[in-house]
Chains A and B, each alone.
Chain A
Amino acid sequence: MLIYYLLSVVLLYLSLVCLFGGFTWRLYLWNQTGLSAMRLGYFPKPRKQIRPIRIFADTVFFTQLTKINPVFWFMVILFHISLLLVFTGHLLLLIPFPGMLESEFNNHTNLFGLVVGTIWAITVVYMLLRRFTQPIKQLSEFGDYFILCILLGVIISGISVRWCGNLTYYRIFAHNITHPHALITVLASSPRIFSVHIILASVLFIYCPFSKLVHVIGTFLTNTIRRK
């Protein structure tokens, strides 16, 4: 069992190195290759003053999808909002919520985290089911299914972690990320599902920089080209 927890921690550290190092490497590889001098955007081009706003709007809201497939647009927006809220919730493990007692905060996030996690899971299931129907099935590759399955596992295990375990332990885990002994202690004291959550998230982080998930760092860049 100790080996199991040790592997979880090793995998976690490896995943963080892969995630940040991988994205940095990806940016480096892109920048190593010259940009074509061709202005590749389409017309009409936005005025220079509002160009940054258009790029931001394209990247964050991509409203052009509402004209093609409004349901898909809605689910994708919901997916990303859920992702952002969950990410913020994880950050709040490190930083206490201002002006609120820890116990109060824990009660609020119990329900909020459950709702957001469930919504997020629903959007992932929608995306996964979509990939089993034609013609999207013909477009899809192994990586598309793999990412969605792993992510679904991360979300479901994350929801379970929130309900089964002690938030204080997770806070200790977050605050002691650089202390492997402390991490192993927390893992040993927490429900097994917490280790599962850590392992699945780590696998996802390792895979991220070598997959289409590089769109996290690339979308803004391509949308800049779109408006140039």
Chain B
Amino acid sequence: MNQAASKRISDLLQPKINRQFLYYLDICTRCGICKDACHVYASTKDASLMPPQRIRLLRKLYQQQTNPLTRLLSLQDKNPLDEEAVYDELYRMAYTCTGCRRCMVYCPFGIDISWITGIEKALLVALKKIPSELDMLANVALEKSQGLKGYHDSAAKQITTSLEPQLRRICGQQDATIPIGVAGARILYVSLAGIDSILLPALIFNQAGESWTLSQYEAYNYGFMAGDTPRAIKIADRIVQEAKDLGVEEVVITECGHGFRIMKHLFPVWTNQKLPFKVKSVFNTWNDYILDHRLAWNSARITDPVTYHDPCQMGRNGGIFEEPRNILKKIVPDFREMTPNREENWCCGGGGGLIAQRNLTDYREKTGLMKVKQIQATGAKIVATPCGICRQQLTFLNQRYNLGIRVASVAELLVRAMFPADALSDFYPERASL
């Protein structure tokens, strides 16, 4: 690459450099242990996508500006990379990494490859070279909050006319509601956009007698997926402002790995503020309900063996391991652990925004092989996982590999254990019982 282009990238990179970045670039010995920890390499044996390869080009670009020896050697390079080729390569390295950080668990130095690919993404955002799907989805999320009244009215109408009647039919409580915008509620529940993510938790909150209100926003954050921190902050901030306006004690994030991770661990650091409310995952809340005997269920309602997939963002990167397991072990007679599990669990291959990128469908099929083998080894018929992206990816892998499994959220299994099959037959007409 010519010096002018190299300088251009270096200038864009400079504000994003921090001490961790330098540690990771300088200390990596290229021992290759991480390749066997990475689901991409382990599944495909594509050496060009080994974790150290993802940071190789950025290291070279950085050292060309900072290391006199590297700069001298680069001047001798008879075939310097074309600038666009550099961007293409950075794009490929950054946007095919799910950011699962399994490589970090096994690296003898604890090098966080996803930290570097995150910086690569930030660089590409500055160069306006991000996947169009992620760009569009992040913009849509922000647009929603601009036209909130219209969205609110439409969503409120759907909740009142469609979801609340279903809620009452299932639970048999005529006063059961899905409250929206209730000031002074104890918890603000942040769902995803799907009906499942609203109705199923509503059933659980109602049975537990919780004081709750539904957020007008969703937990999903395409700004984060794109590696665009300013947009990620804007998207998350809507929820924070809503929680402050309603004066809730807790913000409870639905089954969404990165949504929980952002609100709990990232947003306070990004914005350097202490949030005036607690942030919890639904699993913290539902586990408490079970321990406090606020829910009633019949575990005979779920007969198939169930296994649990730890989503990377919720588990390894979010800290939620035991609560979903505690819930499942209570409601499911035949619970089977995957091996390995918890922080060592294999990534499903759908995270990091990959699920939204149309050109990566075959890539996701191939890189999901380790997860497929893991599931097959359990002999389970149901794979429970909290993360919506994981469910999409696992459903996709189920189809492509003919696994013969069913993928379900933990909320679905809990509700199926709480209510008889005939009560749920309207909601799950295709398969009322498990």
A108 part of interface (Cβ distance < 8 Å): no
Selected contact of A226 from candidates B26, B110, B269, CB within 8 Å: B110
- Quick check: B30 and A68 within 8 Å, CB to CB? no
Q: What separation, in Å, do the CA atoms of A215 and B26 have in the docked complex?
A: 8
Which interface residue of B21, B27, B41, B265 has the most chain A CB atoms within 10 A? B27
A43 cross-chain contacts in B, Cβ below 8 A: 315-319, 321, 343
Selected contact of B319 from candidates A44, A141, A227, CB within 8 Å: A44
- Quick check: A225 and B20 within 8 Å, CB to CB? yes
Q: How many residues of A contact B (CB 8 A)?
A: 46
Q: How many residues of B contact A (CB 8 A)?
A: 52
A47 part of interface (Cβ distance < 8 Å): no
Closest to B73 in A: A142
- Quick check: B265 and A222 within 8 Å, CB to CB? no
- Quick check: A72 and B33 within 8 Å, CB to CB? yes
- Quick check: A218 and B108 within 8 Å, CB to CB? no
Which interface residue of B52, B101, B110 has the most chain A CB atoms within 10 A? B110
Evaluate whether A219 and B109 lie within 8 angstroms (CB atoms) in the complex, with A212-B27, A214-B26 already known: yes
- Quick check: B18 and A136 within 8 Å, CB to CB? no
- Quick check: A144 and B30 within 8 Å, CB to CB? yes
A34 cross-chain contacts in B, Cβ below 8 A: 18-19
- Quick check: B22 and A64 within 8 Å, CB to CB? no
B69 cross-chain contacts in A, Cβ below 8 A: 210
Which residues from 18 to 50 on chain B have a C-beta closer than 8 Å to any C-beta of chain A? Answer: 18-24, 26-33, 35-37, 41, 45, 47-48, 50
B35 cross-chain contacts in A, Cβ below 8 A: 135, 139
- Stretch in A23-31, A160-168, A183-191, A197-205 with 4+ CB within 8 Å of B: A23-31
Which residues from 102 to 161 on chain B have a C-beta closer than 8 Å to any C-beta of chain A? Answer: 104-106, 108-112, 115
A49 cross-chain contacts in B, Cβ below 8 A: none
- Quick check: A214 and B47 within 8 Å, CB to CB? no
Q: What separation, in Å, do the CA atoms of A36 and B116 have in the docked complex?
A: 13
Binary contact track B289-322/A, C-beta < 8 Å → 1, others 0: 0000000000000000000000000011111010
B275 part of interface (Cβ distance < 8 Å): no
Evaluate whether A33 and B18 lie within 8 angstroms (CB atoms) in the complex, with A39-B265, A210-B69, A212-B27 already known: yes
B272 part of interface (Cβ distance < 8 Å): yes
Q: What separation, in Å, do the CA atoms of A44 and B319 have in the docked complex?
A: 6
Which residues from 1 to 57 on chain A have a C-beta closer than 8 Å to any C-beta of chain B? Answer: 26, 29-31, 33-45
- Quick check: A42 and B30 within 8 Å, CB to CB? no
A64 cross-chain contacts in B, Cβ below 8 A: 105-106, 108
Which interface residue of B22, B319, B344 has the most chain A CB atoms within 10 A? B22
Q: What separation, in Å, do the CA atoms of A43 and B266 have in the docked complex?
A: 14
Evaluate whether A139 and B19 lie within 8 angstroms (CB atoms) in the complex, with A37-B272, A42-B105 already known: no
- Quick check: B20 and A36 within 8 Å, CB to CB? yes
What's the minimum C-beta distance from B289 to chain A, rounded to whole angstroms? 23
Evaluate whether A65 and B33 lie within 8 angstroms (CB atoms) in the complex, with A33-B22, A42-B101 already known: yes
B166 part of interface (Cβ distance < 8 Å): no
Evaluate whether A42 and B316 lie within 8 angstroms (CB atoms) in the complex, with A214-B27, A219-B27 already known: yes
Evaluate whether A42 and B317 lie within 8 angstroms (CB atoms) in the complex, with A68-B37, A222-B24 already known: yes
B266 cross-chain contacts in A, Cβ below 8 A: 38
A134 cross-chain contacts in B, Cβ below 8 A: 47
Closest to B30 in A: A139
- Quick check: A42 and B343 within 8 Å, CB to CB? yes
What's the minimum C-beta distance from A159 to chain B, rounded to whole angstroms? 25
Selected contact of B32 from candidates A62, A139, A222, A226, CB within 8 Å: A139
A223 part of interface (Cβ distance < 8 Å): yes
A115 part of interface (Cβ distance < 8 Å): no
Q: What separation, in Å, do the CA atoms of A72 and B29 have in the docked complex?
A: 14
**20 pairs across A/B with beta carbons < 8 Å?**
A29-B22, A30-B19, A30-B26, A33-B19, A34-B18, A36-B19, A68-B37, A135-B32, A136-B32, A138-B53, A139-B35, A141-B30, A144-B30, A212-B29, A214-B26, A215-B29, A219-B27, A222-B27, A222-B109, A227-B110
Which positions in B face A, CB cutoff 8 Å? 17-24, 26-33, 35-37, 41, 45, 47-48, 50, 52-53, 67, 69, 101, 104-106, 108-112, 115, 265-266, 269, 272, 315-319, 321, 340, 342-344
Which positions in A face B, CB cutoff 8 Å? 26, 29-31, 33-45, 58, 62, 64-65, 67-69, 72, 76, 134-136, 138-141, 144, 210, 212, 214-215, 218-219, 221-223, 225-227
Closest 7 CB pairs of A and B: A226-B110, A135-B47, A43-B319, A62-B108, A218-B27, A36-B18, A35-B19
